[in-house]
Chains A and B, each alone.
Chain A
Amino acid sequence: MSEKELGKKWDRCLADGAIKLGTGLGLGIVFSVLFFKRHTWPISFGSGTGLGMAYANCQNDLRSFYLLHRSDKEQ
C-alpha cells in the first residue's frame, strides 16, 4: 500500500468517524427525548455506537489490502 493510498484511507476514516459520531449523537438525542425521559445514557450509547461502527469500518478498510478477496480468487 503506497503512502498516498494510506493517507487517503486515514482521511476517509476520520471523516467517517465524525459523520458516524454526529449521526449517533443525533439519534441518541431523538430517542432520549422521545422514549427515555431526557436521560443522558441514550445519547452516550448512540455516540458510542457511532464511534464503534466507524472503528470497525476503518479496521476493515485498512486490512482489506492484505486480505485475499473473493473476486481475486475467482480470477
Chain B
Amino acid sequence: MRRDQTGLSFSRAIQIAFTQAYSWRTWNNSTLKETTLQWTMAARILPVVKLATKLTIAGGALYVACDSGLLGSSEQGSEALEKAKAAIPPAIEEWMKYFGLEAQLPTMPKVEFSPVQAWNSGVRQTISTLSEAPTKATGYTNQCLQYLKDLTK
C-alpha cells in the first residue's frame, strides 16, 4: 500500500464522474486519461462502503431477532411463533398471486396426524409390552417344554 495515495471523498468522486462523462461527450482524450487514473484511486473507498453495508445487514438481522422476542423468554418465543404461523398463509397467497401460480398450488390436505398423540401411544405400547414380557416369556417357555416333553414321550 503506497503511503502517498490518499482516499477519495464522495464529492470528489462525483466531480470525476461528471468530468469523465463530459470528456466522453467532447472526445477530449487527455482529460479521459486523467480521469481514468483518478478512478483507480477511487477504489480506496470501496472497502469502506462494503464494510458499512455488511454492518448494516448484520445489525438489522440482530435487531429483528431481538425485537420480535425470538431471543427473549419462552412466552415471548411462543408468541412470536404464533404470529409467524398466522402470517404464513396470507404471505404464501400473496406470493402465489405475484408469480401467477394461483391455480397451480393445491390446497394442503388437512393431515389428521398429531405427533404428540403418536408419541404418547408409542410410549404406552412400549411400556405395556415391557410389563407383559416376563409373564409372556414364562408362558412361551412352558409351552416349549411341554411340546418337547410330548415329543420325547
Residues of A bordering B, CB below 8 Å: 12-13, 15-16, 19-20, 23, 26-27, 30-31, 34-35, 53, 57-58, 61
Taking A15-B81, A19-B80, A19-B81 as contacts, is the C-beta distance between A35 and B58 under 8 angstroms?
A: yes
Which of B44-103 touch A at CB < 8 Å? 54, 57-58, 61-62, 65, 70-71, 73-75, 77-78, 80-81
Contact A20 B77 (CB under 8 A): yes
Using Cβ atoms and an 8 Å threshold, which residues of chain B touch A35? Answer: 54, 58
Q: Which residue of A lies closest to B70 (CB)?
A: A23
Number of interface residues of B (CB under 8 A): 15
Most chain A CB within 10 A, of B57, B73, B77, B80, is at: B77
**Closest CB in chain B relative to A12 CB, distance in Å:** 4
Q: How many A-B pairs with Cβ below 8 Å?
A: 41
Residues of B bordering A, CB below 8 Å: 54, 57-58, 61-62, 65, 70-71, 73-75, 77-78, 80-81
- Can you show 24 pairs from A to B with CB atoms below 8 A apart? A12-B74, A12-B78, A13-B74, A15-B74, A15-B77, A16-B77, A19-B77, A19-B81, A20-B77, A23-B65, A23-B71, A26-B65, A27-B62, A27-B65, A30-B57, A30-B61, A31-B58, A34-B57, A34-B58, A35-B54, A57-B73, A57-B74, A58-B74, A61-B74
Using Cβ atoms and an 8 Å threshold, which residues of chain A touch B70? Answer: 19-20, 23
**Closest CB in chain B relative to A60 CB, distance in Å:** 8
Cα(A16)–Cα(B69), bound, Å: 11
Known: A12-B74, A23-B71, A57-B74. 10 other contacts (CB 8 A): A13-B74, A19-B77, A26-B65, A27-B65, A30-B58, A34-B57, A35-B58, A53-B71, A58-B74, A61-B74
- Nearest 5 A-B pairs (CB), nearest first? A16-B74, A12-B74, A19-B77, A23-B70, A34-B54
